[in-house]
Amino acid sequence: MQYKIEGNNILLTDAQYFDPEATLCSGQVFRFSKKDGVWCIISGDKIAKISTIAPQNYKIVTNDAKFFVNYFDFNTNYATIINRLSKTNTLLPALRFGQGVRLLNQPVVETIISFIISANNNIPRIQKTINNICMHFGKNCDGYYAFPTLNELSKITKQDFINFGCGYRADYLVDTIKKLNTTFDVEELKTLDTNSAREKLKTLKGVGPKVADCILLFGLGKRDVFPVDTWIEKVYLQDFCGKPTNRKNITNFFVDKFKDLSGYAQQYVFYYKRKDVHLIKEK
């Protein structure tokens, strides 16, 4: 894949390892939509619109091209990653099916809040809730609303969160936002090793092991994590012939197997399994 920046636009050619649908619909992000064949993504106060020019050729119109080059991980060689993961036979159909999936590099606070909201929730409701929060408390950016800053988030009450559809998560959000604004050093997370960052994240209300691993993977660029939910449990039991166990052991199994490529492997199998396609058995 090659990309070229022209002003605030990004032109992609031979983008075999980038597919907007596969990337955006793989459970990593919630502020996106598609209209008339154009994908729209909002992150923080940034916006990008992706149009297909020809097969594997895209134009991304943005208000910050450098931000979205990093956001879409365009400087990482996914051909090499897929080649390394291909040594595990079980992954081959998932790698072929979802080779356009890329791991996103998202703002940390937005990732924390979004994944607290996502716990035990469905994607349409998550999207509606986050969009309501942005519309009521985010900056109006001439046609779209930014994700609220920490200062703006601190003005949201428990009842506001309930009205936006957060349910029992409202308490978690109010408490976590207060902590993020006072005693919790978000920047410190970026300096910690994966295990230390995970334990620090778990001190936030509403952040359990799975949510913490999602924040590590999508907000902090920690690729040696493997978030486990019901879909990944199915992969473990059905496709890797695992025995019933707890999610911590399942996470350890996959991280021991895939090491620094764990996060990439997780996204490929997660996207594939949710499409209800069955992986072949590992030999």
Query: 11-85: which CATH topology?
Result: TATA-Binding Protein (3.30.310)
Q: What is the DSSP annotation of 14-38?
A: S-TT--HHHHHTSSS---EEEETTE
CA–CA separation, 96 vs 216, rounded Å?
26
For residue range 43-89, what is the model confidence (pLDDT) as tens digits?
999 999 999 999 999 999 999 999 999 999 999 999 999 999 999 99
- Looking at the DSSP bridge assignments, the partners of residue 34 are 39
For tokens 């410190």, name the residue. Answer: 188
Q: Give the residue numbers marked as catalytic.
A: 210
Angle at 243 between CA 102 and CA 194, to 5 degrees: 40
Query: Can you tell me the distance from the alpha carbon of 269 to that of 253, in angstroms, rounded to the nearest whole number?
Result: 15
Q: Which residue spans of the chain are classified as CATH 1.10.340.30?
A: 108-219
Cα distance between residue 80 and residue 145, in whole Å: 37
Residue 210 structure tokens: 């799975």
198-254 tens-digit pLDDT: 999 999 999 999 999 999 999 999 999 999 999 999 999 999 999 999 999 999 999
Topology annotation, domain 108-219: Endonuclease III; domain 1 (1.10.340)
The pTM of the full predicted model, rounded to 2 decimals, is 0.94
